[in-house]
Each structure stands twice: as C-alpha cells, then as structure tokens.
Structure 1
C-alpha cells in the first residue's frame, strides 16, 4: 500500500449527473419564474397604456359636462338679470305713479282753491248786483243823469261806440269789426286823445272814481272790484250803456238794470 493512499486528494470531487440535472432544473424553474414575473410585470405595465387609451372618452364626457354646467350658469345669470330688470322697471313705475299721484293731488288742490275763489267772487258780485238792483228799483239810482245829454268829448266817445253796435265780440279784439270790452273802450277814448290802458283791470282805476247815482255820459262803467274788474263799458245817458258784452250779444246797448255795474270812473 502506498504511503499516500490515505491522504485525501485535493482535487474537487466530480459532480454526479443527477446533481447536475437537479441544478439545471432549479435554474430552469428560477428562469421560468423570472419569465412569468417579467411577463406579469409587462402585463401590469401594459395596463396604464390601456387606461390611457380610454382617457379621450373620459375627457370628452367631462368637456360635455363642463359645457352643460357653463350653459346652465349662463342661463341662471340671464334669468337673474331679467328679474333685476323687471324689479328696476317696477320700482321706476311705482316712483312715477307716486309722482303722478302727488301732481294730481296738487292740481286738484289748486283747482279747488281756484273754484273757491271764483265762487267767493261770484257771491260778492251777486251781492253787489242785488244792492244796485234794489237801489235802481227804488228810483233813487241814476236820477241825476236820466235825461242828460252828452256834449263835447263825451258826445264823440258815445257816437263812436254806438257806431260799433252789432259788431262781433272777440276776446283780444281791437277793431275795426270785432272787439272785446276793453279794446272798444281804448279805441273809443283814443278818438278824443285819451290813451287808456289795454285791459279792464287797469281801466277801472284811471281817472276819478264816481258814485253810480251821479253818473254822466262818457263815464267808464266797470264790473268787479276796482283794479280787478272783469268787464267795462261806457255810460251813454238815460240809464243806458254800450259795451262789447259777450260772444252771443256782441257790441250792444243795454239798460243799467240789465247788468248793474260795480262802479264807475270819470276821465273826461
């Protein structure tokens, strides 16, 4: 027996075929597992691609929803604006109606005041006429002039107004064929060089105030108060006067009892 027979060899022992086959199988299994994991990983990695392909559809739906929401918002804003405009119009109408009511009340108050004033003036005139009529019926009024005859300037004035009898009455008329009361008086007295004011209110304050029971031909008669007279005429004697009365009678000669005057002024 050799001296080295019990000494182990330093060379690696040979692997058996079964060991090699087992290791190959293990390696194959590991590789298979890796392949399966890789495939699964690849599959999982592919899924986002599939989801990404579906995104346009989701994006389209979202855009439709956004557009619908925007349209609804716009419609709501339009409705709000319409309501606001209606409210503003209603407020303006209410304000205008309130103003119209106030104006109507003011106008009614003014009209009532004017009617009251006119009624008071009519009552005063009626009272004055009643007094004058009573005096005339007693025979004491105008007695000193009942038979007087006009001379000089008075005769010229009376001749002029009598020549206009039958002419029409027209408010603002100053001749030659139509007159109002003060227009006739102004033109008549201009024939003798006397310039009278244009309106009856002013004509009732010229010259000297005279009593109605001491009238003379050529005196200017007035109806109403001195300074606010509403009618004038000229006394022609014998208890008569001539004036542009109204549209129905025109220029006419009437007795003092027809419409007793309120007063008289003398300018001749």
Structure 2
C-alpha cells in the first residue's frame, strides 16, 4: 500500500495554505483527470472515483461540445475497471487479494478470425510473460518453470489456450491478429482488443468477460458480435512452487489436454 502512504503525505502537505500541487500530462486531460479523480476520492470529496473524473472534465473543458457524461461513457473498459478497483481499495483500506495467482488457461469465442489470434501477456514491469506463439518471441520471462509450452487450439472462431503462468499485481493481455502478423508487436493497428487488470482484485476461479469489459479497438468493433464474444480466464490460488516436489501443481491439468471437452463444457455452462 505504498501508494496510499504517498497519498497521505501529499494530502497533509496540501492542507497548508502556502502549498500547491501541480499535475500534468502531455494533453492535460485523460491521465491528469485520472490522477485528480483518485485524489478527490482519496480525500473524500467525491463518492466515487468516476465522479471525480467527471468533475475534473467539467472544470477543465467547460466549452466542450461533448458533455462529461458522454466522455465518461466512451472511456475504455480498463479505466472503468481501475476506477472500481480504486474505490474498493479506499473502502477496504487494503487490496482484496495480496497473493499471486496462477493463470491456468484462457478460452475465447466469438472472435471472427480464421487464423489463431496471437495472445501476449505482460506484467507491471513490462516483462513478456506469455505468448500463444512462443516460437516467435525470444523475450518471454517465464514465471512458472514447470509449465509446458502449449500453443493452444483455434477452430471456427473459438480457442483454448493453456497459459499456466504466475501473475502478481498489474498485468495486461493483448490480442492481435495471428498468421504473418503475429510477431509484429510494434504495429498497434493489428491489436484487436486489450484487457488490463490486477491480481489484487481477482480471486481463484473463472472470470467471464464480454465486449464491454475489454478495450475493443474501434476499427474492429463493428466486426464483432457482442452477444457471441466471450473471453474467459481461469485463475488458481491454491498452489505453491517452492520446491521441485510441488511441480505437478503448476503443470497442466488433465482437462487442459482435451480441448473438445473444455469447449463443449464451457458452452454448456454459458
């Protein structure tokens, strides 16, 4: 909770009339607005972090043709998730989960691409910890030395990806076009969607994400059926990697070896 401690120190300093705070970013809007929104929530001046964001927009852009509410509705899902997480942190005065999680697998459906999409996961330090195309990247920082590299399976707009990597803190998932575009991380136009979150507010079990919970790139939004799209990530908390004898806990479940059963089972549940 280092950030909360820094916030307390900053707030105490700003209580003095001779002290002022200056926050800025290149365009003076989004990132500045988020920082100020968090401060307003932290100091109890707004009920929700999103309310602080709207208040900033009202003051910062009074002559804008777009109302703050309209701008807020267009916010990426990742920012909305961050607002909810920050609200929970202030309410609980701690993170909900303070332990790493093992991301067992990712199941995806309703993505209208023929070739297997390229999934890449990065942690808060920017380390590349997983790829569905491991042979194309030499920079992957393996967090689970016992995991077997498995490229996964993709067929008819559905896929199953065994991940089996340890995540702790902030992370983000990028889904890009596969095929001959798979190894080009430098071209943002090949990103289909992004999902960002933190293990601090996740727990064991599956999470199911529809289109409104991921940052879907606008250029491709019209191609995706919102009713069909689903991203499911299964996390596990009851594991330990402190010794070689416990390695089987980190290896693939037998269920991961039968993609057809996984796909049919998920379809039945959903």
Q: What TM-score do the two structures reach when normalised by structure 2?
A: 0.20
Q: Give me the TM-score of the superposition, normalised by structure 1.
A: 0.20
Tell me which protein shows more strand as a share of its residues.
2
RCO (CA 8 Å, sep 6+): is it higher in 1 or 2? 2
Q: Larger % of helix: which?
A: 1
